[in-house]
Each structure stands twice: as structure tokens, then as C-alpha cells.
Structure 1
Amino acid sequence: MDRLAFRADLQGQAKLDAVTTLLDKLTEDLGKQCLTPDERDTALDQLKIYGRDPRNADPIFTRDGIETLARFALESDSRTTCQNALKCLANAMLLVPSARQTFVDLGYGPKACDKLKNDDWEDEFLASRVTLLSTYSKTIKLPTLIDETGLADNIAQRLAKHAEAASKQDKEALTDPMQVLSLTEITRLLFNLTHLCHEKASAFTATIPHLLVLLSKHDIPTPSPLEAPMGPFINALLNLELESPGLESSLFPDEAPGAIAARMVELLEQSLQGYPDHELEATVTPLVSVIHRTYARAPEEVSRIMRRALLPSEKDREGVLGQGDSTSAKMLQNLSNPLAPTLRKAISDLLFGLSGNDPATLVKNIGYGFASGILFEKKLPIPEDMGNPSTSEADASRGRAFNPVTGQFVDSEKPVDEPEMTEEEKEREAERLFVLFERLKKTGIVDVQNPVEQALRDGRFAEIDDKDRVEELD
């Protein structure tokens, strides 16, 4: 190859000329093998550097340029050449979306999937990245790709390798940058495949046990608990069929049935504390959904542990529920987070599930103030006896009644230091309540006896003069 002085800082026409020359030589080499292995790898390395900025690097992103790179990346016998070309190709597909479509149109998708059979972390990372980017093509046929390339098996086998290293507590493997990168990328690929092609999610069920091992063995990142690889683990589980038969031993292992659930709860606790409100929607919502699905099939001993960890505790009930920094308080606070509507729905579903999908139990667990919004969204009636002091599952044995509206222990409530109402004020308040109850009944949401109407019938209130009558509230 004619040796040109390589300069990474070339711009404008000089850079365009250099890129054109390199691609011409590489394309020629595909037919004549006119480059030595060192020259070929040097040319690809230089092209990779030029391709990091798409300006004045147009030949890389053309159909001919993508084909040249794909042939070196997926057909060469040299590991170094393949990896150098894969890096160029991955950068091109990342920076210029049209390159993804070109790659798929050229028919190289199945060959990229085959690369996942290689027992090499860097090959795994690069093949996962290229395949992941190709899933954004408008014409890719994912069901065919999954069925005809053994992609699901390839991913399961690679995750099994990672899980094996994690189970051995191989710190070197767990912290090796390339292994962590490859693990992160292949779990992202798994999520994209099951998200974009949900009808094929069952093909990836074999990955679930490996993901659960990885979830339990990897350290939780700080200060952002759902950074890679933890976040991608949870996202990958989101679309998989956790309800499939035979997964009980993975979700609830005999030696520690609650270990996986406890790790998820720990992740939730740290995430609710660690992320600001505007980041919760995208980061924490999948975790809440996976916890809910795990709880739905948990044995009673694990269900009990999860309820104790996620529902208000005795300490929470010393004050009004939803205050403080406990996990349950943070969950209740996010029921009114305007920046996270999907998270709000996920938390509502989880709390309802933790309450046995029973409205009365939900009110007892989190108080009418929070439960009413959940029940309204689910179009469920409010329990008729919600006005009576109650005890929750966690506190029934202690016999401490709590305010059904606020969830606070009655004996912890501070007396309100206000003067006694006059008889006239009581009558005015009674009429206001009468109007409000009548309007509430008309909505059809509740069907309860208006206590003011009952009191009037019983003769406990006297009529007041028209001039003193309270007008209806707007």
C-alpha cells in the first residue's frame, strides 16, 4: 500500500481524500489481496479514527463503503482484521442511521449473529453492538432472524458464560472492562429483540436463569444503582416470560428463596433515593414492573418478606404516611409525581398487588388518602367501612389502630389546638358536607349513606333560617 503520512487531525478535502484512498485500497484488497496483514489492519485502524467524525468521511457510509467493511468484519479469517473492521462498521452504524439500513439491505445481519458463537468478549461486544443497531432498520425481519440464526441460543450461551464467571466470584472477570462492556451490550440487544419482537419473547426464556444469577452476583453501582450492568439486567427481564413453568428454582432458589426478591427491593430502595424526580420515569419504572411480576408468583414466605419491605412499617405509621425517606414513603410520594406518569401507574399496580388486589386491604395498607386515587383509576368502589380505624396486616398483632385516611397510628396523632365550633358553625359545616356527599353519590364512584342526611332524619340537626343557609359550592 502506498504509505501516506497519517494525521488524525485532517479536515476538509484532505480528510476526504485520505478516506477515499484507504477505502479504495481496502476494496481492491478484497479481490486481489494486495495488502499485507499489517497493512490491512493499519488501513482499517486509520479508517476507524477518521470515521469517528462523519464530516468529510462520506465514502465510509456509502453502500460500497459499508459492504467493504462488512466483508472484512464478517468474512475475514484474521481475528484482528475482523475486529478492526467491526469497530469501523459499528461506529458508522451508530453515527449515520442510514448505514444501519444499508447493512440490513446487504444481507449481513445473519453473519453478525453468527459472530456471537465466538468465545471472545470483544467479538461478543462488537457483534452485539452491530446487531443491536441493525434492529432499528425499518425492513429487518426480526422473527426470521431469530428463527434462522439461532440468535436466542447464542445469546443464552453467552450469558451462561458471564453467569458462570459471576458464580465463581471471579473478581477479575467481574471487573474486566471488556467483559462488562460485552455483558452490557448483549443484555441491551436482548431487551431490544424482545421489545421490538415481543411475539418471540418465549424463545429467550432460557436467558432468565443466567440474568438472575448476574443480578444477584454483580455489585450495585453507586451512586446510580441502575447504571450498567444492573439497569440492562432489569430491562432485559422486563419483556421476558417470568411466568414460564420451571423458573421457580431460579426466581426463588431453595438455598435462599427470598434472595432475588431482596436484591430487587434493595435496588428499588437505592434507586428511589439516588435518582432525581426527572430521571425516575425512565430508570425505575422497569424495576417496579419486574418486582410486581416477581411478587405475583412468589411463594407465601417470599411474599410476606416483600410486603414487609415495601408496605408502610410501624415506624412509618408514627406519622402521616408518605412522609420521610423510607422505601414505602418514596413510593407513595411518587404516586403524585407529575414527571413520572408511567412510574406512578407501575407503583399503583404494585401496591394493589401487594394488597392482594383487594380495595379494603389497600386502604388499610396505605391509607384512604393514597388508596382513593388508585381505586379511582381502576374504577373500583371505595370500601364502605373505610371511615373506621383499622389495623394493617403488619400491625394487627399489636392492636394499634390507625387513621384510615392518613394511615397514622391514632395514638400518635397530635390533637388539633382549635377552639370548639359554635352550634351555628356546626350547622353550616353539616350542610356543606351534605352537598358534597350528594355530589359524590351522583358520580357513581361510591354508594354510601350520606351521614348528614341520616342525622337530619334522626333529628340530630335543626333547620336554620333561609338567610343563614349555605349556598352550594361551585
Structure 2
Amino acid sequence: MTFQVTLPPEQKRSYIKELITNLSEPKVYNKWSDVRLEKSLTNLKSMGRDPVGCERLFEKSSIQMLMTHGGLGSDPKRGQCLAFPDTPAACEALTCLANMFLINESTRDVALDLHLLLRLCALANLNSCSLRSHFLVARLLFLLTLRRPKIMKQAVDNYYINSLLAGLMDFHLDRLVSKAASSALSSDPFTSPQVLGELLKVAYNVTSEYIALRKMTPPEPTGFRGLSLAALQGHSTPRPSLSPEPLIEPGTNPVTDNQLTKADSASFGQLLQPAIATLMHVPMDTSSLSIPPPHSNAIALLLCYAPQDFANDFFPLTDSLALTERLADICDHCLGLLSMNGESGSSGASPRPDSTASNSNLSLYYASFNHNVSHSLLPLLWLLISISQAHIPSRLTMRNRWFPANRDRTVAPEAADTTGGRMVFILSQPMPTPLSQSVGNLLYNLWNHDVHQLVAEVGYGNAAGYLVEQGIPYMAGGGEAPPSPNSGSGKPLAGPGPVNPITGKIHPPPNGAPRSTAGLSHVSSASPMRTPALASATWDKPMTEEEKEQEAEKLMVLFDRLQRTGVVEFEHPMAKAVQEGKFEEVESDSSAD
């Protein structure tokens, strides 16, 4: 009989005390059958899910008892390893420990004092054990290494935890590639992709905490200079407020300062290939509304490596662009998960708006962007930035893939139903977010930090917010002129007429007469910054009321940014009029109806 957590606290304490006493006495439990021992540990596991009344379970002696039943009761002898029993009772004991570490974090320190991490790393027969055993060992390693930078050097140098992780990841990758894992999917609740995701989480813990220890920084970086566990688990990130200081250095990778270098290849190089192989060879679940494990875990781990120092792994000579193209595919998939009015498609990907949909429908199509996708995209964008900085062919591949020379320039860049169009839309949002700044950094990097090329491709109206927020100066006419349809570079662009530098699209002038935008600019009286201007207002169609409200909102946000940075002094005209007494309240006459 298996007890559920329905006992009163006092009765529960009494029963747990009796169970622990019996399980701590070899003279008692040695007389039990395997079934009775398993059921006793199962009852202890069930009641331990609720911390109320489990004080005895969290004691050091109880943790030692569970380690003994899990086959981890003693340290390995010098030069020898341990063997996991892989019995149902041993798995139940490890499950009890995992639940305990999750509920009561202080018990992890007790287990570390009892050398649990050393004993887990000394297991040598895991390849012949069940997938459940693999998952439990990985989960225990994950919890023991979470926010524990002080033990990482010992775990890496003395316990050889990276060798254990690399061996287990290679084992499951071989099963997945050879299709050996597919036959057990229906019978075993634990799968190789699931175990692989747990192992990659452990590898990320070990790598990131090792870097934190080496650089003597806090284990969880603040801001966006590092990747926190909350970002990996999909927790929301607070929206940054407008400030004169840029949150992320323009065009740079936010985790560059916290990456492994060539000097760390001996200890951590063995973890890199399994992470890359996971992205390249393990099929990704496209029905998920984000990047699912183990692919999200592999991306997080790759962020800990500097691509320029591990070029042979990131860009092998046989196919130097394979990883870049795979990551670009994942980025295409994530940005394709845009939903129409918050409704997702049946296949997991969101339905596309009809080609004749109005601008308002297209705006709703993008405005319902899923938050899970946003948090999945951040690590991926940072990784793409890091790769584009280290490898010029990868940079060109991404730029030509998302912004081809023969794309339709008669459509506004932010309205194009393409990956590049969605990036520009995110960039053009009036309020700055980590996602919009990361997209801006990636695009700024793809065009070699040339602000004029960026503006020529996406339009100044879309890039203005990012440029102002990051403090990047832009002078109209200071760079190359926007490409024209007959410029001879690349394939001809679709549509007649020059590219409007404000909107980034081709506006055919009235009567079909082409007009040049060269030298068109205006100088603001409040700022020396020169801004491109339209040659004629007749180029644009009349704006709808909704479009006017959107443009007014963008202008208000832009003025607010300029005021905060000290460029201009601006006061809302309505608020000023009320303060000066030019408006007064007038009571409505109810009898007028």
C-alpha cells in the first residue's frame, strides 16, 4: 500500500520517524523483501513532497540513509569507481533525494558535505543502467551544481565531472543517431532527449559557475552581461526603463566577457562537441511555442564558449557554415511562431495573415508575439551575435539569408512576412526591450557596424529608436547612398524608384517620374544631428487614424528619449496648456439630451 500526503502533520511526523528508523537499521530492512523496501521508500518519497511534517527527513542522518539505499553510501577507494545498483529501490531513494534538494535548498550543502557529488561522479557503470537512473543522476548533479561556484574547481579538476557528462551525452547521442532510442519510447517514460537535456543543463551549470569562480564574479550576473538560469527556464525579464546609458554595448555579444577561451579547452573542450551534435542531429519538436529542450540547453551551453577560440568546433573545415545555418533555421522557426490575435495554428506554427489583410491586421499579427518565444530568442540571438563577430562567412550568410538583394523593397521592411521583416518589426517597437536591443545589435553587426548601411536596409524610422538608445550617431549622406534598382550590385530590386531612407521601401513618385533622394536632409534646431527627410509628402498614401496614433506614440517616445539624454527640452503641449490655465473643465448639461 502506498500512502498519500493526506495525513495530519503529527501523524505524518510519527510515520516518517518510524520509516526512517527502520530504513536506517540494516538488521531491520535486510529482512524485508525487495518489494517491501521499494514500497517503504515510495511512501517516504510521496510524503516528502510536502515539507510540512518532514523535519526529520531533512536531517543529515536521513540524507545519509537515502544515499546508502541509493548505492552511494561510501566513497570510492583510490583509483577505483563505484557501481550503481540500478534497482527500483535505489531509484526511489535517489528520487527522494532529488525532491528533498528541490524543496529544501539547505539539504544540498549537507549532501555536498557527505561527498554525494564525488560519489555521483565516480559511477562507472551508467551505460548499462536504465534511462531512469541516467535521468536521476543528471537531476541530482544539476541541483548540486546550481549556484555553487566554490565547488566547481574541485568538481572539474578532481572529480572529472566533465568526463562523466561527455560520456553520458555521447551515449545518448549515439542512441538517437542509430535510432536505438525509438523502440523504447512507448514503454519507458524517460527518453534520451529528456536525459540529454538534463545533462546539458548540468554542463551549463558547471561551465558558467566555473567562469564565475575564475573571474571572481557573482554566480548570477546582473543585467544582460550574462545568461541567468531564469532566462533559460522562461521566466519573465523586467523591462528596462529608458536611460541615457545603453543596456548592451552596440553590436556586441552580451556574454562575451564571460566565455571560455582556448586555455580552457583541455577541461571543457569535451563538452562542446555533444552540444553541437545535439543541435545538428537531434530532431527539434516544432510544435513547441519556444525552443524546446535539449536544443535550448545546447544553445545556452554554447554561449559559454568563445567561437574564435574554438573555431575548429564551431566552423569545421568540412562544412564551416553548418552550425550557422542550423541556428538560422531555428531562428526562422521561432520568429515564425507569431500568432494572429493570440491564436496558434494547429500544427504548432501560427497561421499566416491573408495576403490581402489590412495593416491593422498585420499589426495585430505581430503584436501577439508569444513571450515564451521572446525568452527563447534571447540566448539564440546572443549566440548568433557571437558567431557573426568571430566568423565573417557566417556573418555574410546570415545577412544574405534574411536580407537578400532581390527582396521586394516595395513592401515596408517591418511589414514583410519574412524572418528579416519580423526582426525589423521587433527593432521598430517604441519601447526598448532586451529582445529589441539584441535584434538591433545583431543587425548592426551584420552590416559591419556601418550605421548608414543599416539605415539603407531597414529605414531610419525603424532604426531610430535603437540608434538613439545606444547613442550611435547618424549623419544623413555620410555613407553610401541607398541602392537603387539599377545600381548593378546584386540582383535587381523589385519595383521602380529609389528607396525612401525613412521607411526603407521603394515609393514610386507621382506620374511615374523617378526622383532622387540624394542630399535630402534637415537639421533640427535643437540638435546638430542631421536626419533624412522625405522629398514629397505625396509619395505616401493617406494614413489611417490608427496609423496616425501609432506614429504619434513613436514620436512621443522618441521625444522622451531625447529629453532624457539631454538632447532637447520637451514638454507635453496639452500638459503645458492645462498648467497655464488655457483649459478649464466644463460641466456637461444633462438636460441637453
Whether 1:153 aligns to 2:163 is yes
Secondary structure at 2:120 match in 1: helix
The residue aligned with 2:447 is: 355
The residue aligned with 2:85 is: 78
The residue aligned with 1:102 is: 110
Which amino acid is the alignment partner of residue 186 of structure 1?
Answer: L
Tell me the alpha carbon deviations over residues 240-297 of structure 1, each in whole angstroms, 9 at most, x when there is no partner.
233324525x54462x443322221121122123263433442210011112222333
Mapped to 2, the partners of 1:116 and 1:310 lie a distance apart of 47
Alignment of structure 1 residues 93-242 onto 2, 5 Å: 93-115=101-123, 118-119=126-127, 120=129, 121-136=131-146, 140-170=150-180, 172=182, 177-198=190-211, 201=260, 202=264, 203-224=267-288, 225-242=290-307
Report the CA distance between 1:36 and its aligned residue. 4.7
Alignment of structure 1 residues 51-90 onto 2, 5 Å: 51-75=48-72, 78-80=85-87, 81-90=89-98
Which amino acid is the alignment partner of residue 193 of structure 2?
Answer: V
Which amino acid is the alignment partner of residue 296 of structure 2?
Answer: G
The residue aligned with 2:561 is: none
- 8 A Cα contact 2:459 2:503, kept in partner: yes
Mapped to 2, the partners of 1:390 and 1:308 lie a distance apart of 17
Mapped to 1, the partners of 2:29 and 2:283 lie a distance apart of 51
Whether 1:266 aligns to 2:336 is no
In structure 2, do the counterparts of structure 1 residues 437 and 387 end up closer, same or farther at CA, with 3 Å as the change threshold? farther
Secondary structure at 1:402 match in 2: coil
- 8 A Cα contact 2:148 2:209, kept in partner: no
Report the CA distance between 1:237 and its aligned residue. 1.4
The residue aligned with 2:348 is: none
The residue aligned with 1:45 is: 42
Report the CA distance between 1:350 and its aligned residue. 0.9
Mapped to 2, the partners of 1:66 and 1:339 lie a distance apart of 50
Report the CA distance between 1:449 and its aligned residue. 12
Whether 1:11 aligns to 2:12 is no
Which amino acid is the alignment partner of residue 110 of structure 1?
Answer: L
- 8 A Cα contact 2:524 2:530, kept in partner: no
Mapped to 1, the partners of 2:184 and 2:302 lie a distance apart of 20
- 8 A Cα contact 1:45 1:84, kept in partner: yes
Tell me the alpha carbon deviations over residues 170-224 of structure 1, each in whole angstroms, 9 at most, x when there is no partner.
4617957332221111111112222233257433232222211211222221322
Secondary structure at 2:415 match in 1: coil
Report the CA distance between 1:152 and its aligned residue. 1.4
Mapped to 2, the partners of 1:126 and 1:340 lie a distance apart of 41
Report the CA distance between 1:327 and its aligned residue. 0.9
Runs (5+) with no aligned partner, structure 2: 74-83, 215-259, 339-368, 513-520, 534-568, 572-593
- 8 A Cα contact 1:187 1:233, kept in partner: yes
Percent identity of paired positions between Structure 1 and Structure 2 = 21
Which amino acid is the alignment partner of residue 58 of structure 2?
Answer: F
Tell me the alpha carbon deviations over residues 330-358 of structure 1, each in whole angstroms, 9 at most, x when there is no partner.
11222255787222222122111111122
- 8 A Cα contact 1:389 1:403, kept in partner: no
Report the CA distance between 1:50 and its aligned residue. 2.2
Mapped to 2, the partners of 1:312 and 1:253 lie a distance apart of 26
In structure 2, do the counterparts of structure 1 residues 83 and 52 end up closer, same or farther at CA, with 3 Å as the change threshold? same
Whether 1:396 aligns to 2:461 is no
Secondary structure at 1:274 match in 2: coil
In structure 2, do the counterparts of structure 1 residues 208 and 138 end up closer, same or farther at CA, with 3 Å as the change threshold? closer
Tell me the alpha carbon deviations over residues 386-431 of structure 1, each in whole angstroms, 9 at most, x when there is no partner.
69851189983345542222110244x7899xxxxxxxxxxxxxxx
In structure 2, do the counterparts of structure 1 residues 402 and 448 end up closer, same or farther at CA, with 3 Å as the change threshold? closer
- 8 A Cα contact 1:73 1:83, kept in partner: yes
Secondary structure at 1:439 match in 2: coil
Mapped to 2, the partners of 1:113 and 1:392 lie a distance apart of 62
- 8 A Cα contact 2:302 2:383, kept in partner: yes
The residue aligned with 1:376 is: 468
Report the CA distance between 1:384 and its aligned residue. 3.9
Tell me the alpha carbon deviations over residues 102-133 of structure 1, each in whole angstroms, 9 at most, x when there is no partner.
22233322222334762143333212211211
Mapped to 1, the partners of 2:36 and 2:526 lie a distance apart of 83
Whether 1:440 aligns to 2:527 is yes
Mapped to 1, the partners of 2:330 and 2:96 lie a distance apart of 36
Mapped to 2, the partners of 1:37 and 1:124 lie a distance apart of 21
Mapped to 2, the partners of 1:473 and 1:222 lie a distance apart of 48
The residue aligned with 1:457 is: none
Secondary structure at 1:268 match in 2: helix
Tell me the alpha carbon deviations over residues 18-61 of structure 1, each in whole angstroms, 9 at most, x when there is no partner.
22211111111289855454443332222222223333333222
The residue aligned with 1:365 is: 457
Mapped to 1, the partners of 2:383 and 2:124 lie a distance apart of 27
Query: Bigger shift: 143-152 or 105-114?
Result: 105-114
- 8 A Cα contact 1:19 1:59, kept in partner: yes
Aligned residues: 425
Whether 1:385 aligns to 2:498 is no
In structure 2, do the counterparts of structure 1 residues 332 and 447 end up closer, same or farther at CA, with 3 Å as the change threshold? closer
Query: Bigger shift: 29-38 or 346-355?
Result: 29-38
Secondary structure at 2:25 match in 1: helix
The residue aligned with 2:355 is: none
TM-score normalised to structure 2 length: 0.63
Runs (5+) with no aligned partner, structure 1: 417-432, 451-471
Alignment of structure 1 residues 286-435 onto 2, 5 Å: 286-298=379-391, 300=393, 302-311=394-403, 314-337=406-429, 341-385=433-477, 390-391=482-483, 396-398=489-491, 400=493, 401-411=498-508
In structure 2, do the counterparts of structure 1 residues 281 and 410 end up closer, same or farther at CA, with 3 Å as the change threshold? same
- 8 A Cα contact 2:456 2:481, kept in partner: no
Mapped to 2, the partners of 1:130 and 1:361 lie a distance apart of 50
Report the CA distance between 1:137 and its aligned residue. 5.7
RMSD, aligned α-carbons: 3.6
Which amino acid is the alignment partner of residue 468 of structure 2?
Answer: F
Query: Bigger shift: 401-410 or 200-209?
Result: 200-209
Which amino acid is the alignment partner of residue 218 of structure 1?
Answer: V
In structure 2, do the counterparts of structure 1 residues 340 and 287 end up closer, same or farther at CA, with 3 Å as the change threshold? farther
